[in-house]
A = this chain, B = another copy of it.
Amino acid sequence: MDIVALLTSAGINIAVCVVIFSLYSILRKQPSNVNVYFARRLASQYSRQVDFWLERFVPSPGWILKAWETSENEILAIGGLDAVVFVRIVVFSIRVFSITGVICTVLVLPVNYYGKDRLHKHIPLESLDVFTIENVEEGSKWLWAHCLALYIITLAACTLLYFEYKSITKLRLLHITGSPPSLSHFTILVRSIPWSISESYCDTVNKFFSQYHASTYLSHQMIYKCGKVQKLKDGAEHMCKVLKDSSENSCKPGVVPCCCLGNSTDSFKMVSNEMGSIHERTCYTDIDTRKREFPAAFVFFKSRYAALMAAQTLQTSNPMLWATDMAPEPHDVHWSNIRVPYRQIWIRKMATFSATIAFMLVFIVPVGLVQGLTQLEKLQKMFPFLAGVLKNQYVRRVVTGYLPSVILVLFLCFVPPLMMLFSTVEGPISRSGRKKSACWKVLYFTIWNVFFINVLTGSLISQLSVFSSLKELPATLAKAVPAQGTFFTTYILSSGWASLGFELLQVCPLLYNLFQRFLLRVKDDTLNGITFPYHTEVPRLLLFGFLGFTCSILAPLMLPFLLIYFFLAYLVYRNQIINVYITKYDSGGQYWPIAHNATVCSLLFAQLIALGVFGLKRSTVSAGFIAPLLIVTILFHQYCRKRFLPVFRSNSAQILIDLDKKDEQCGRMEEIYEQLRSAYKQPMPHAPSPSECSSPLEDKGIAGTSEDIEKGVVIKQTRPGPIHRTLSPALDISVLGGNQVSDPACTLNKNIPDVPDPVHEHLIKDGL
């Protein structure tokens, strides 16, 4: 492939991007699409003024400006900490690849280009290989330039990573201490409650926690079997629907169609009474209720610290009984997984692990086929009838430069849903946990498939001695990666740029909306608001980061395209966070450790490959200098693991105790206990409990079990807890519920901002 072919590919993609971006700026102005492109704003009572007829069909860059101008605090308020972390990943990438780009253009590119004494063609006709490290002669002394560049890149990346980790750790701590008080901090999930003939599970829980956590145990809420409950409800639901049609008392549009009757069936009573009984600690004695109990419960504690203690400890000498975990936030609970028997979890984990590995290995087949396309000679041999078509120069360029990536991208589309399925089967109790687990899987999968399989099958497709030896891995990669540099560049162009365009256009929701509006003639303005697909977008960013690091000194011509990708990503994703995606749950920045690990891993691979390349080029000095770099990078990684990771794993005693004390001093505890009473509402599919319609908590953003939302039921999204958080912990401490707190100690921080908040003070002390 030469420069012209690359520019052809780039041209196609730029054109596609411009068309898509313009199309987007037109489509978003159409009133009929407002629920596709402004789903989030719609959910927060956003009303858009209608543009004039002509203006609606002229592309405009207004959205770009808006995306650019939005501050991090606003992003935090809108999309939660996860959105901020996501934007930070993009910003980190822009920063680090700007430095890398400068270094590689100044240091590496000239060395590569003039690496061999050869007659250079006119640059546009120059093969791309001339710009890679392959063009440097064996034993050349100029290889120190590559070594130096790698040192600078590693240093820059580590420094930026360290400060990002520090800053995100601080944000996470503020997220934890932020208001309103997180109800999950008071709650643990107990699973695998032992069965006894004489007692119901409810009594067993009550007895156990009253005995062993007497001073801190508040109450509990059993989890009921869904299958049976649902069966019981089928009749009730039918009646309910009939009644609803004849009733005037219907809920607001945009709210889930609910049954607002008090006299519902027995199973309704059970659920609502259960919630009412929390403070009394009484259990049902009738056989039916006992039969419906599932051996799991949410247990509430009087303080955050007590809940953390109970969650972390081995409760009895049989670790398979009384398994405790911190409960997720109420709107983050994955209800169907909570009903997975605890004894199955480890088997499920092993099974999904094996299935993931198996799927990764099976996926080699399509990738191998794609790679065939980049080697036209081979293809022509296999399919002789193609020879005629492939003689056309333009077709050749498209086939080698564009088609493989497109096919690969199409194949890759099927991966995230499958990984999400695997993660669901695995049994995480929270939806954010499931997404995080899927994110890991997709990341491994993407890097394995896009990078390794491409590299190894692409270059060694004729010899099947892949991984012939682990010792030779660096050398194998060193041979293969520079050769695949061109493919990766086109991959960034096609997959990267185009994916941003499709992300912006929201093709599937758009088509669904059109289908609904013009074929089904549904006039309802509501569309299922979807959450940010971190499990596909985070791995995508990290994959491009991985490609960037590994190819930086080998094929530096890729970097400009990569930088453009990250710049576009910055604008596009910010726009999407502001306008499209709804924040239903928040993992509290758990994606940063993933990004950190992936980046360090990329650096290590870049170094290993460089080691191999220097070995091949017989530059022992440069190769020798890579060894300390490897060691330092590993040490840096270990240090960050020790220094920051525990904060992402568990909450610290100091912070929780400080929060407890503050709430106690303000007399806010009773209010929190009251909220706990109804926070964890078990969803009853098709027939929500009566309280859902008129729950006083709904407007506080705590209610609204979002399980239904994902199942396609539409609910009014009233900005749940995490999206209220702001960067300053001292700002909205007393904005809790409707009660005005009058204790001066509690409003102190609000009135006198100069007096430091005790929690904030600790963060400063701890060097954050």
* Chain A interfacial positions (CB closer than 8 Å to B): 169, 173, 194, 212, 308-310, 312-321, 346-347, 350, 467-471, 634-635, 638-639, 642-647, 649-655, 657, 762-763, 765-768
Contact of A652 among B317, B645, B646, B763 (CB under 8 A): B317
Given A346-B639, A350-B635, A655 and B320 touching (CB < 8 A)?
A: no
Contact of A319 among B194, B470, B642, B762 (CB under 8 A): B642
Contact of A346 among B638, B650, B651, B762 (CB under 8 A): B638
* Pairwise interchain contact B212-A316, C-beta atoms closer than 8 A: no
Contact of A320 among B194, B321, B469, B642 (CB under 8 A): B642
Residues of B close to A468: CB separation below 8 A? 468-469
Could you write out 7 A-B pairs with CB less than 8 Å apart? Answer: A309-B313, A314-B652, A317-B763, A319-B646, A350-B638, A467-B471, A469-B469
* CA gap between A169 and B314 in the complex, in Å: 14
Given A317-B762, A346-B638, A212 and B647 touching (CB < 8 A)?
A: no
Residues of B close to A312: CB separation below 8 A? 309, 312-313
* Pairwise interchain contact B766-A212, C-beta atoms closer than 8 A: no
* Pairwise interchain contact A646-B762, C-beta atoms closer than 8 A: no
* Pairwise interchain contact A314-B650, C-beta atoms closer than 8 A: yes
* Pairwise interchain contact B470-A318, C-beta atoms closer than 8 A: no
* Pairwise interchain contact B319-A212, C-beta atoms closer than 8 A: no
* Pairwise interchain contact A654-B316, C-beta atoms closer than 8 A: yes
Q: Which chain B residue lies CB-closest to A310?
A: B653
Residues of B close to A316: CB separation below 8 A? 652-655, 762, 766
Q: 5 closest pairs, A vs B, by CB?
A: A318-B766, A319-B646, A314-B652, A313-B653, A316-B654
Residues of B close to A212: CB separation below 8 A? 653-654, 657
Given contacts A194-B765, A212-B653, 4 further A-B contacts (CB under 8 A): A313-B653, A316-B762, A317-B654, A319-B642
* Pairwise interchain contact B315-A653, C-beta atoms closer than 8 A: yes
* CA gap between A314 and B647 in the complex, in Å: 8
Residues of B close to A635: CB separation below 8 A? 347, 350
* CA gap between A675 and B133 in the complex, in Å: 71
Report the minimal beta-carbon distance from A73 to chain B, rounded to whole angstroms: 21
Residues of B close to A765: CB separation below 8 A? 194
Q: Which chain B residue lies CB-closest to A468?
A: B469
* CA gap between A77 and B653 in the complex, in Å: 40
Contact of A317 among B469, B639, B647 (CB under 8 A): B647
Given A346-B639, A470-B467, A635-B347, A766 and B321 touching (CB < 8 A)?
A: yes
* Pairwise interchain contact B314-A653, C-beta atoms closer than 8 A: yes
Report the minimal beta-carbon distance from A313 to chain B, rounded to whole angstroms: 5
Residues of B close to A317: CB separation below 8 A? 169, 173, 647, 652, 654-655, 762-763, 766, 768
Residues of B close to A643: CB separation below 8 A? 318-320
* CA gap between A308 and B647 in the complex, in Å: 20
Residues of B close to A657: CB separation below 8 A? 212
Report the minimal beta-carbon distance from A214 to chain B, rounded to whole angstroms: 9
* Pairwise interchain contact B309-A768, C-beta atoms closer than 8 A: no
Q: Which chain B residue lies CB-closest to A767?
A: B318
Residues of B close to A470: CB separation below 8 A? 467, 470
* CA gap between A414 and B755 in the complex, in Å: 63
Q: Pick the most buried of A316, A347, A635, A639: most chain B CB atoms within 10 A of its CB.
A: A316
Q: Pick the most buried of A312, A317, A762, A768: most chain B CB atoms within 10 A of its CB.
A: A317
Residues of B close to A469: CB separation below 8 A? 467-469
Report the minimal beta-carbon distance from A147 to chain B, rounded to whole angstroms: 23
* CA gap between A467 and B644 in the complex, in Å: 38
* Pairwise interchain contact B638-A313, C-beta atoms closer than 8 A: no
Residues of B close to A763: CB separation below 8 A? 317
Given A653-B212, A657-B212, A313 and B320 touching (CB < 8 A)?
A: no
Residues of B close to A319: CB separation below 8 A? 642-647
Q: Which chain B residue lies CB-closest to A644?
A: B319
* Pairwise interchain contact A313-B318, C-beta atoms closer than 8 A: no
Q: Which chain B residue lies CB-closest to A639?
A: B346
* CA gap between A102 and B212 in the complex, in Å: 51
Contact of A642 among B194, B346, B639 (CB under 8 A): B346
* CA gap between A27 and B308 in the complex, in Å: 60
Residues of B close to A318: CB separation below 8 A? 643, 766-768
Report the minimal beta-carbon distance from A453 to chain B, rounded to whole angstroms: 16
* CA gap between A312 and B311 in the complex, in Å: 11
